[in-house]
Amino acid sequence: MNTSATAVRTATTASYIQDYDAITELMNLYNEGVRIGSSAVMKPGFHQAATFYGYYEGTLLAGPIQTLFDWVDGNGPSSEMRVRIASIDIHETIAVVRLELENLQGKLAGEEGAHLSDLFQAIKIDGEWKLSQKSFHWHTA
């Protein structure tokens, strides 16, 4: 049985705060894009090869992030949407973010106010954070 331990380098407080703030800004771009119904606002936060997965109206949406961009543009504005960043988990060059969206409305979301749980993966490339994957769960009443 191997009882040796490996030391893990942890980020300094200052670098962790910088990473946390940068990731929060990515999420703010995403949130604002959904709120105003414009993928152009959120696109800079995503890596060009990012992917998208989740079920919408019982159908699996899966593929390139353009699927999300098309949905956001087609849905239009959702000015009454509420968003909470439930967690941000950072591990040096990767991160996982969980969002809770409530009262999402629009042409595709409907007027009742949908609730979604989103999971994002982010990666730090050349010192810049980019979203690399989004998965979601669309809650039903």
Query: Are residues 68 and 28 in contact, defined by beta-carbon separation less than 8 angstroms?
Result: no
Structural domain contains residue 1: no
Residue-level pLDDT at 57: 85
Residue-level pLDDT at 4: 52
Tokens for 30, please give them.
């995403």
Q: What is the CATH number of the domain that holds 107?
A: 3.10.450.50
Residue-level pLDDT at 13: 84
Residue 7 has, within 13 A of its CA and on its CB side, a CA count of 3
Structural domain contains residue 119: yes
Domain assignment of residue 67, given as a range: 13-139
What is the spatial order of strands in the sheet that 110-125 belongs to? Answer: 59-64, 46-56, 128-139, 110-125, 94-106, 82-91
Residue 40 has, within 13 A of its CA and on its CB side, a CA count of 3
Structural domain contains residue 5: no
Residue-level pLDDT at 141: 67
pLDDT means over runs of 10, the chain (141 residues): 49 86 97 98 98 93 96 96 97 96 96 96 97 95 67
Structural domain contains residue 86: yes
Domains held by the chain: number: 1
